Structure 1
């Protein structure tokens, strides 16, 4: 197989641990990076991706952050779409009613109201730190700056998330991308963007989606894997994703992406 571009999700896919890529992954990426464009595609914020780019030796390539809401090429902003404050405030209201905390993201800014076990995990796994302040103050600040959220992370319990997710879908599903990254986390993104839309933006004029191979594990990877030339799911991925993938490789903890590259590229 030969592809012009390789796009990979990070958490649960390219990362063999919670916060890093393995030496075998670095080796396999190094073997193909001169002839294949390596693009990291994630729900993460920029600074939680650039350290991984450096580890892989592909910092000269663009990155797709926040599931496609922010696309960067070094310091150059290629694309930015954030959620209108009207919808951000509605998410906040529904979350408050069910005692679910918000993480609010804009570019490299990350705001939370208070520290928690979940926040500490994010700090550890993403190599970034939040600014602690009341959500209402962040919303007021963003209104004054005329910006919005590239991503909202809703941090609750399984029980509260089970209740809140269908309410968000009912009230805001037409206006926002909503998906559960696990039992306790709900992630929210602008409706007009996706990992696939970002990949299309990065394709040179003479290349098509058929020239792209993509790797993923979760619901936010489904559209990407379905429409590129070759979609590969890791074995630890969602069953729905594996069902539509062209191939299923080893789990991320067994360096599934590197294994597939070694065998097929």
Structure 2
């Protein structure tokens, strides 16, 4: 198989147990040609991905953020934003209304913006994990700002107790499931994105606009529900060993876990000859 690019999820896939890029992974990446595309595809915001590109020596590479809702090319002279699909503001307001009598914590994202209602346990945890600091602002003020700017959310993230998150998930799925992806990344998290996008659709668009590469020439890595379509559509879809069973079921190959150098092993096996 002639692999011309890598597309990989971040959390639970690319990062090790310390939530960083391992020395072995960095060595494997360093052996690839400098123009070999390594495309990060994540539910993260761009600022939470750029420092990883810098660590890999790939600053400026295109990013698929918010599960495909916001694709950017930092080195582009024009048309830096390659695609921009957000959740309608009325749906954002409906989501927060559904959770108004709960302890569920709502995080709101658009492009380079991240808003939290207060800097509590959930906000601090996310800031530590992503190395980005939020702006503290109530959902009502965020929605008022976005209304004046004619935009919605690229991602709404809900965090809370497993019981409340489960109840909220089923309510939101019933009422808005035709319009939204609701990803259960953990039993205490829901990551919400527009129904019309995915990591796979974003990669296809990026390859068309930026590279002369086909989906069949990509090796992709993932571990969670939002990676399923991506692994199905590329030439070599790889699930790490810690992936959900549904992800493993569609993968062409299963590597070691993220804690055991799963991505580095496959780069060595297929691309660097080690």
Aligned to 1:64: 64
Structure 2 gaps, min length 5: none
Secondary structure of 2:186's partner? coil
Supply the distance in 1 between the matched residues of 2:15 and 2:2 (Cα, whole angstroms). Answer: 23
CA RMSD in angstroms, aligned pairs only: 1.4
Supply the distance in 1 between the matched residues of 2:99 and 2:65 (Cα, whole angstroms). Answer: 24
Aligned to 1:224: 230
User: 1:141, CA displacement in angstroms?
Assistant: 1.1
Matches within 5 A, 1:86-125: 86-125=90-129
Aligned to 1:5: 5
Aligned to 2:252: 246
Aligned to 2:42: 42
Supply the distance in 2 between the matched residues of 1:108 and 1:17 (Cα, whole angstroms). Answer: 27
Supply the distance in 2 between the matched residues of 1:143 and 1:99 (Cα, whole angstroms). Answer: 26
Supply the distance in 2 between the matched residues of 1:222 and 1:55 (Cα, whole angstroms). Answer: 27
User: 1:23, CA displacement in angstroms?
Assistant: 1.0
CA contact (8 A) 1:19 1:126 kept: no
Aligned to 1:23: 23
Structure 1 length-normalised TM: 0.96
Bigger shift: residues 43-52 or 16-25 = 16-25
CA displacement 1:190-231 (0-9 Å, x = unmatched): 111110111011114753211111000100000000111010
CA displacement 1:144-187 (0-9 Å, x = unmatched): 11111000000111000111111111000001111111010001
Secondary structure of 1:64's partner? strand
Structure 2 length-normalised TM: 0.93
Bigger shift: residues 222-231 or 18-27 = 18-27
> 123, 138, 143: which is aligned to 1:139?
143
Report the CA distance shift for 1:35/1:133 in structure 2 as closer, same or farther (over 3 A). closer
Query: In the alignment, is residue 55 of structure 1 matched against residue 55 of structure 2?
Result: yes
CA displacement 1:40-85 (0-9 Å, x = unmatched): 1111001100000010111232010000000111161111111110
Query: In the alignment, is residue 169 of structure 1 matched against residue 176 of structure 2?
Result: no
Aligned to 1:237: 243
CA contact (8 A) 2:237 2:253 kept: yes
Bigger shift: residues 176-185 or 201-210 = 201-210
Runs of 4+ in structure 1 displaced over 2 angstroms?
33-36, 204-207
Secondary structure of 2:92's partner? helix
User: 1:18, CA displacement in angstroms?
Assistant: 4.8
Secondary structure of 2:11's partner? helix
CA contact (8 A) 1:3 1:36 kept: no
